[in-house]
């Protein structure tokens, strides 16, 4: 009994709660800036926005007067002719007076620009979701590694306790061998935790377009707010979802395509003017000018215009169906992730309560076992329950962060 009392005094149970990632490291805000500035998908989406903006400027320019300057120099010579030189230079201006295709092209370019912006926001939302999930996985992996270290210490203490009791004739050899096996299994799992952490660090660095060997320590994520009771409160936010904005812009593009096709049946009118100086001496003194209006009207196009209009209307019908499908998908996905978030939020309390209960049982059974009031198998089962409860809380915290990130992504934010 004296040996047992000494062991009880030395090996007081110290069960760590799930460790928080309070260490300093890369914050989520800093990582977000790095991600959006260096990730190839973000760069490609941003370039698409710039391209659409430039095309919009190009088509808008077609609505305004166009000016150009020209110059010409000719020299003629030969065996039987005198050398002669001539110069000409001038200015030309033109202005469309009636061209329905031009406003339609501007509306199409403006809708394409809005679609490119929505597509960029969609890529941004997806990347931020991947980043937050990577953060949650890294935080969990680092905490799991720390928890594994504490578990190894506890396993080593257990082996020593069983060995002393076995040598004193108070425990059987099977218990000693099993405890040693459990300890070696924990060593193997500890190496697995190290490997998993390293793989997640490399995954984060790749996502941020950084070197695989760069330090990937991350700061703790802020706790997600309590989820709302009513999903309907997010209806307005969902109407601004990038997928719906992109689908609506695609529908506007098809409507502009119909307007462009209809304009082919209408006349077009434009005004133009030219002022030139020409002659054989420089500076030229002979002046010429011209001004006029042109009008064109298609009479027979072998059915091309009608076929083009029918195709444009079919494109609009397809875009309308795509918009309806996108709206249904956005709302259904958002509600699914909303329910998953509420479930993950509720499970946190379950995991915390389970850990508190397992902690209390482990403390009591350890003391009872050391005092000879409980069997080895009772103590072993409670120890396994404690370790399972600790890992369950780590997983619950990670799942809550991932569920919140998924719901935010489903809102298009």
CA dihedral (145, 148, 153, 154) in degrees, to 10, reads 150
Residue whose entry in the numeric block shows the structure tokens 């309070």: 22
pLDDT at 50: 94
169: region left, alpha or beta (phi > 0 left; psi from -120 to 50 alpha): left
Pairing outcome for strands 286-296 and 84-98: unpaired
pLDDT at 90: 86
Measured CA to CA, the distance from residue 104 to residue 193 in angstroms comes to: 60
Instruction: Tell me which residues of the chain have a pLDDT lower than 70.
Output: 1-23, 77-83, 281-285
Tell me how long the chain is: 413
Write the pLDDT tens digit of every residue in 263-299: 888 888 888 888 888 777 666 567 888 888 888 888 8
pLDDT at 84: 72
pLDDT at 143: 93
2-65+100-266+301-410: CATH homologous superfamily? Outer membrane efflux proteins (OEP) (1.20.1600.10)
pLDDT at 284: 59
Kindly state the DSSP code that residue 228 receives in the 8-state scheme.
P
Q: Which of 132, 125, 136, 121 is nearest to 410 (CA)?
A: 125
pLDDT at 327: 93
């Amino acid at each position: 009994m004296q040996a047992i009392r000494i062991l009880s005094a030395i090996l007081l149970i110290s069960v760590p709660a799930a460790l928080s990632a309070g260490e300093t490291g890369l914050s989520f805000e800093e990582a977000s800036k790095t991600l959006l500035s260096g990730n190839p998908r973000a760069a490609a989406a941003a370039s698409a926005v710039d391209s659409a903006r430039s095309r919009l400027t190009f088509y808008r320019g077609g609505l305004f007067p166009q000016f150009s300057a020209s110059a010409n120099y000719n020299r003629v010579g030969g065996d039987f002719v005198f050398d002669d030189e001539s110069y000409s230079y001038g200015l030309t201006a033109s202005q469309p007076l009636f061209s329905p295709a031009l406003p339609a092209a501007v509306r199409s370019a403006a809708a394409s620009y809005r679609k490119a912006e929505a597509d960029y926001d969609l890529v941004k939302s997806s990347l931020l979701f991947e980043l937050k999930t990577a953060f949650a996985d890294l935080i969990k992996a680092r905490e799991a590694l720390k928890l594994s270290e504490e578990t190894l210490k506890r396993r080593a203490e257990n082996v020593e306790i069983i060995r002393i009791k076995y040598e004193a004739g108070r425990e059987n050899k099977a218990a000693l061998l099993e405890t040693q096996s459990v300890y070696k299994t924990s060593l193997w799992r500890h190496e697995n935790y190290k490997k998993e952490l390293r793989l997640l660090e490399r995954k984060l660095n790749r996502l941020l377009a950084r070197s695989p060997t760069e330090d990937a320590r991350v700061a703790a994520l802020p706790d997600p707010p309590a989820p709302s009771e009513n999903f309907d409160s997010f209806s307005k936010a969902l109407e601004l979802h990038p997928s719906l904005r992109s689908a609506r812009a695609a529908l506007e593009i098809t409507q502009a395509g119909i307007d462009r096709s209809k304009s082919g049946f209408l006349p077009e009118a434009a005004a133009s003017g030219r002022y030139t100086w020409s002659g054989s001496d420089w500076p030229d003194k002979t002046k010429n000018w011209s001004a006029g209006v042109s009008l064109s009207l298609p009479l027979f196009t072998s059915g091309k215009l009608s076929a083009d209009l029918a195709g444009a209307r079919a494109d609009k019908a397809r875009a309308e169906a795509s918009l309806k499908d996108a709206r249904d998908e956005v709302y259904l996905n958002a509600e699914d992730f909303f329910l998953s978030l509420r479930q993950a939020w509720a499970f946190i309390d379950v995991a915390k309560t389970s850990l508190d209960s397992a902690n209390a049982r482990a403390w009591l059974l350890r003391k009872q076992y050391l005092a000879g009031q409980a069997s080895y198998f009772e103590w072993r089962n409670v120890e396994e329950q404690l370790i399972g409860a600790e890992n369950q809380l780590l997983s619950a915290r990670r799942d809550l962060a991932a569920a919140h990130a998924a719901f935010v992504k489903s809102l298009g934010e």
